[in-house]
Amino acid sequence: MIYLQLMFTFMKIGLFSFGGGYAILAMIRQEVVLNNHWLSQTQFMDVVAISQMTPGPIAVNAATFIGYQKGGVFGALLCTFGVILPSLIIMLIVTITYLKLKKQKWFMNVFSKLRLLSVGLIAAALIMVFEDAMRDWFSGIVFAACLVAGWRFKLNPFYMLIAAAIVGMLLG
Amino acid sequence: MLLKLFFSFLKIGAFTIGGAYAMIPLIRKEVCETHNWISDEEFMDGLAAAQSCPGPIAVNISIYVGYHIAKGKGMAVAVLGTIIPSITIIMLVAMLFNNYADADLVKKAFHALRPAVVALIAVPLVQMARRAGVNIRNLWYPLLSAVLVGVLLISPMYLISATIVFAVWQGLRAKQA
């Protein structure tokens, strides 16, 4: 039963994830933390950090990780399959018809509006994780340092997380 | 040919960290320059479609490129190449994480990783907003959706469905006028 639920949930996540990476996180959080209570808010952030530090698409990483936690290897495979299944169908149709669809006004309008929305969804994910991560001074300082490193110095996210992990081990 | 395609995507899937935006330039180089499988222009069209369609962008672009090169088989091979390294590595990490999650050092590392993740989400937001064409007139829309989803905890599903319906209606009406 859990298997069906896992796969179905991640299919829903795949279907309603526009804008890639961080916009997908908003949807994963909604389903996995709020609706199904498979993870706590804190565990969710751990999954995001792990997904960022390992190679491959973030959504696939998160799906595999959560699937493994809840249903072992089989659960991991099902979640991964679930999250990419809507892609496979929709993207295949679009690939075949894109040149025609590109000329349709309503079609392009959908995408430009969805792009606006995905900015809002990422901001929403930000609001939600912010409350939970800023528990003490140490967290605030790490956050500010990473913000400067990423914004001002365009530090690669991978190195940023590795640096944060080391700082955490030494001082946290 | 299919083998080459598979290993190209496998290589990219295994060695790029940080999601789709790190993978795209490598995919382009591999399929447009190294192997000359599709033209630059075709790739850019595919990228636009991949970013617009639901699902992980890296998976979407693999579908597009794979299909262009060798139809259904190419698609299957490219997608498998992209996700196999992820799945394998993540499962290993998940096994280890279950055993060591309570270790002191791991706890300390995640204490710093959590705020770092928040910064990681915040940094590309401005750039994304610019790319999406956010301006003074339409700023209310992402702001409102951020409040609805982030504070009032409304599922993004409803907003996405409503946006699609509205955009199709608007687009069709503009066509008639």
Give pLDDT tens digits for A76-125. Answer: 999 999 999 998 899 888 888 876 777 777 777 887 788 888 888 888 88
Same domain, B49 and B83: yes
Same domain, A107 and A172: no
Domains: count for chain A: 2
Domain that holds residue A128: 2-133
Q: Using the beta-carbon criterion (under 8 Å), do A58 and B19 form an inter-chain contact?
A: yes
Domain that holds residue B154: 125-176
Is residue B27 in some structural domain?
Answer: yes
Same domain, A103 and A169: no
What contacts A70, CB < 8 A, 6 or more positions away?
A2, A6, A38
Same domain, A71 and A112: yes
Q: Using the beta-carbon criterion (under 8 Å), do B90 and A65 form an inter-chain contact?
A: yes
Same domain, B41 and B91: yes
Same domain, B131 and B81: no
Q: Which of A25, A56, A139 sits opposite B115 (nearest CB)?
A: A139
Rg (CA), chain B: 20
Give pLDDT tens digits for A128-144. Answer: 778 777 778 888 888 88
Backbone phi, psi, residue B133, to 5°: 80, 35
Distance of alpha carbon A19 from alpha carbon B132, whole angstroms? 10
> Is pLDDT above 90 for A158?
no
Is residue B84 in some structural domain?
Answer: yes
Q: How confident is the model at residue B15 (pLDDT cuts 50, 70, 90)?
A: confident
Same domain, A28 and A70: yes
Domains: count for chain B: 2
Is residue B112 in some structural domain?
Answer: no
Interface test with B, best of A99, A112, A122, A171 (most B CBs within 10 A): A122
Same domain, B77 and B136: no
Task: Collect all residues of chain A within an 8 Å Cβ-Cβ radius of residue B124.
Answer: 22
Is residue B17 in some structural domain?
Answer: yes
Same domain, A87 and A171: no
Same domain, A110 and A61: yes
SS3 letters across chain A: CHHHHHHHHHHHHHHCCCCCHHHHHHHHHHHHHHHCCCCCHHHHHHHHHHHHHCECCHHHHHHHHHHHHHHHHHHHHHHHHHHHHHHHHHHHHHHHHHHHHCCCHHHHHHHHHHHHHHHHHHHHHHHHHHHHHCCCHHHHHHHHHHHHHHHCCCCCHHHHHHHHHHHHHHHC
Q: At what angle do helices A105-133 and B104-132 cross, to 10 degrees?
A: 150
Same domain, A127 and A145: no
pTM strictly above 0.80: yes
Task: Collect all residues of chain B within an 8 Å Cβ-Cβ radius of residue A30.
Answer: 149, 153, 155-157
Task: Collect all residues of chain A within an 8 Å Cβ-Cβ radius of residue B76.
Answer: none
Give pLDDT tens digits for A11-63. Answer: 999 988 877 767 777 888 888 988 899 988 888 888 888 887 888 888 888 89
Same domain, A18 and A61: yes
Same domain, A56 and A129: yes
